[in-house]
């Protein structure tokens, strides 16, 4: 089986084997929920279509700085592409190549219309440097890609050159230092299986196929956050190929600004990451508690949950789901804790809320079974969705009433949606706010607005989902302090994701990518 075929067993092929619903249920379990809003064709690319593929124009809102000397660069010829392919260990897959469709698509089929010029499947940092040099020579839009789960399709683009790092997926563990070195293109389930062989783990999100690079660069929310911090908090260094073609080792002692920016500053901004180094923690069996409550008591459940996630042991994590499904509504909590502690944690949560759950389920899983349970399996099917986020500083009474109303409104129109609150409490708050680019360390939770869609949804369906998300933003505008960069949405100002860190991120970007090689509507 070729490397590409092997990789596809994890994503595209699954599409034919697994039902869409299965994926959607798995995702909604813990907050492993996707969600972009349908970008227009222009939004998926930083340039308009031109036969040569040379960068000629950018849509509104895209900040590019094309140097005059290269603005008129002729596009690459077939011989140029061949030379690029011969200069790298990986592969260059171009339009009209038989497997182009396989390699160009992202997790969310809503971005299937994007037709890159080529996907460079880079096998090493040297390959990445060659691809960047090629892009610069012909002034081509360049997009890094790892797992392909961007909510806005930021890792593709019509007429862009995609630098795909999924061939770099090796996971190595050094028992002496207890550090893991992870290829930037490794999927999260692969990371967990490799590290679990050594009894170790890193904090990650729950979706099995999300890429290590994309997740980490934006922060990384998941069930270990309260005990071990964000995925990016476990990062001790990375290897980054920058626009000048240099391969830089970035850590606390080298390129410190880039190290700061790479922990929460978001993917795609500063270059192409080829590997990431993390401190690890012991992989332990997990306890689970799943609690459902009467919908009519949702405000009390929200208030109680908000108190509990500030005071419960750090080894316990719990998120809260408000769901609308075909006209009905539900409120539930998914908790993860030390194996053996699940009954006590379920009881403590109910005590704090002051209401008995209408259904309660507690159980234990070995570490990897727990990872699979959270992720809905060891892989995930491609799924269409629209989503967005807000960040909450607290849970004032008014908000606890507004959130269920937003969901009830969707249900009243027969629609389905999920509102998922993930806690930012515990270890996330241990670091000073300015320690990394991730700005939300003194806050209660992220809230994700998620609408699952048919695989290839009609525009009206997408628009209805986007309207509901837009309405949700407006409804809580008074209490939202921002949004989570890994749940990007079109049309949202970048300041919403970065807060006061945006100015520093822009300074770093200007230094390391002065000609905007990696610039798009979604980069700083």
Ligand X SMILES: Cc1cc2nc3c(=O)[nH]c(=O)nc-3n(C[C@H](O)[C@H](O)[C@H](O)COP(=O)(O)OP(=O)(O)OC[C@H]3O[C@@H](n4cnc5c(N)ncnc54)[C@H](O)[C@@H]3O)c2cc1C
Footprint on this chain of ligand X (rule: CB under 6 A): 27, 31-34, 106-107, 143-151, 154-155, 165, 184, 205-207, 210-211, 213-215, 217-218, 220-222, 267-268, 272-273, 380, 486
State in angstroms the smallest separation of the CB of 355 from ligand X: 28
249 three-class SS = strand
State in angstroms the smallest separation of the CB of 55 from ligand X: 17
Q: Which pair of structure tokens corresponds to residue 415?
A: 């629609």
State in angstroms the smallest separation of the CB of 327 from ligand X: 25
State in angstroms the smallest separation of the CB of 343 from ligand X: 26
Consecutive H or E run containing 419: strand 417-423
State in angstroms the smallest separation of the CB of 142 from ligand X: 9
Angle at 52 between CA 48 and CA 54, to 5 degrees: 60
Tokens 């037709």 identify what position?
115
Q: Which pair of structure tokens corresponds to residue 290?
A: 């799943």
Give the start-end residues of each E strand in 140-246: 142-145, 161-164, 171-174, 179-183, 200-201, 235-241
List Cβ neighbours of 220 (8 Å cut-off, separation of 6 or more). Answer: 203, 204, 205, 230, 231, 232, 486
Consecutive H or E run containing 21: helix 20-30
State in angstroms the smallest separation of the CB of 184 from ligand X: 4
Tokens 């090493």 identify what position?
124
Full DSSP string of 116-165: -SEEEE--SHHHHHHHHHHHHHTT--EEEESS---TT-TT--TTPEEEE-
Residue 106 or 171: which CB sits closer to ligand X? 106
Residue 400 or 451: which CB sits closer to ligand X? 451
Residue 340 or 514: which CB sits closer to ligand X? 514
State in angstroms the smallest separation of the CB of 90 from ligand X: 13
Residue 58 or 106: which CB sits closer to ligand X? 106
Residue 63 or 297: which CB sits closer to ligand X? 63
Q: CB-based burial of residue 69 (10 Å sphere; 0-12 exposed, 13-18 middle, 19+ buried)?
A: exposed
Consecutive H or E run containing 384: strand 384-392
State in angstroms the smallest separation of the CB of 77 from ligand X: 27
Residue 229 or 268: which CB sits closer to ligand X? 268
Residue 231 or 350: which CB sits closer to ligand X? 231
Q: What are the distances in angstroms from CA 184 to CA 125, 225, 340, 515, 520?
A: 11, 21, 35, 24, 21
State in angstroms the smallest separation of the CB of 478 from ligand X: 25
Residue 148 or 404: which CB sits closer to ligand X? 148
Full DSSP string of 286-347: EEEEEEEE-GGGHHHHHHHHHHHHHHS-TT-EEEEEEEEETTEEEEEEEEEEETT-HHHHHH
511 near 502, Cβ under 8 Å?
no
Angle between helices 298-311 and 342-353 (to 10 degrees): 120
State in angstroms the smallest separation of the CB of 7 from ligand X: 13
Residue 45 or 150: which CB sits closer to ligand X? 150
Residue 167 or 303: which CB sits closer to ligand X? 167
Residue 31 or 426: which CB sits closer to ligand X? 31
CA distance 181 to 171: 6
State in angstroms the smallest separation of the CB of 72 from ligand X: 27
**Among 43, 44, 70, which Cα is nearest to 56's?**
70
Angle at 263 between CA 423 and CA 274, to 5 degrees: 125
201 three-class SS = strand
Q: Which pair of structure tokens corresponds to residue 185?
A: 């293109």
Residue 215 or 353: which CB sits closer to ligand X? 215
State in angstroms the smallest separation of the CB of 195 from ligand X: 17
């Amino acid at each position: 089986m070729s490397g590409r075929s092997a990789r596809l067993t994890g994503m595209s092929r699954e599409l034919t084997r697994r039902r869409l619903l299965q994926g959607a249920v798995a995702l909604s379990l813990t907050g492993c929920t996707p969600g972009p809003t349908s970008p227009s064709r222009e939004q998926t690319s930083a340039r308009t279509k031109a036969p040569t593929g040379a960068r000629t124009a950018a849509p509104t809102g895209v900040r590019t700085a094309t140097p005059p000397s290269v603005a008129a660069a002729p596009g690459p010829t077939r011989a140029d592409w061949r030379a690029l392919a011969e200069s790298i260990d990986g592969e260059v897959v171009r339009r009209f190549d038989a497997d182009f469709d396989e390699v160009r698509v992202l997790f969310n089929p809503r971005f299937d219309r994007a037709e890159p010029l080529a996907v460079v499947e880079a096998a090493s940092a040297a390959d990445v440097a060659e691809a960047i040099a090629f892009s610069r020579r012909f002034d081509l839009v360049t997009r890094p890609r790892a797992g392909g789960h961007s909510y806005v399709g930021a890792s593709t683009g019509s007429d862009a050159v995609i630098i795909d790092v999924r061939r770099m997926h090796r996971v190595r563990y050094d028992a002496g230092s207890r550090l893991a070195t992870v290829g930037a293109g490794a999927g999260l389930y692969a990371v967990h299986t490799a590290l679990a062989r050594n009894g170790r783990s890193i904090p990650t999100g729950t979706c099995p196929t999300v890429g290590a690079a994309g997740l980490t660069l934006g922060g990384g929310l998941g069930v270990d956050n309260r005990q071990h911090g964000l995925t990016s908090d476990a990062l001790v260094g990375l290897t980054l190929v920058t626009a000048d073609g240099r391969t830089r080792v970035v850590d606390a002692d080298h390129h410190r600004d880039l190290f700061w920016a790479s922990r929460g500053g978001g993917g795609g901004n500063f270059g192409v990451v080829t590997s990431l180094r993390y401190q690890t923690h012991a992989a332990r069996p997990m306890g689970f508690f799943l609690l459902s409550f009467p919908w009519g008591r949702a405000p009390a459940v929200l208030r109680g949950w908000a108190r509990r996630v500030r005071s419960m042991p750090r080894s316990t994590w719990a998120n809260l789901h408000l769901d609308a499904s075909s006209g009905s509504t539900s409120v539930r909590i998914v908790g993860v804790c030390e194996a053996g502690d699940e009954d006590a944690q379920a009881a403590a949560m109910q005590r704090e809320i002051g209401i008995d759950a209408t259904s309660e389920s507690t159980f234990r899983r070995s570490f990897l079974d727990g990872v699979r349970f959270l992720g809905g399996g060891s892989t995930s099917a491609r799924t269409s969705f629209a989503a967005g986020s807000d960040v909450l500083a607290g849970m004032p009474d008014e908000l606890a009433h507004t959130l269920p109303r937003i969901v009830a409104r969707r249900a009243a129109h027969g629609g389905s949606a999920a509102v998922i609150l993930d806690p930012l409490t515990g270890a996330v708050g241990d670091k000073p706010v300015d320690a990394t680019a991730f700005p939300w360390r003194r806050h209660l939770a992220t809230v994700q607005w998620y609408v699952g869609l048919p695989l290839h949804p009609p525009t009206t369906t997408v628009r209805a989902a986007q309207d509901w998300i837009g309405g949700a933003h407006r409804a809580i505008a008074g209490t939202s302090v921002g949004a989570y960069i890994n749940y990007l949405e079109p049309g949202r100002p970048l300041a919403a994701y970065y807060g006061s860190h945006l100015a520093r991120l822009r300074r770093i970007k200007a230094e390391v990518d002065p000609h905007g090689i990696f610039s798009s509507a979604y980069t700083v």
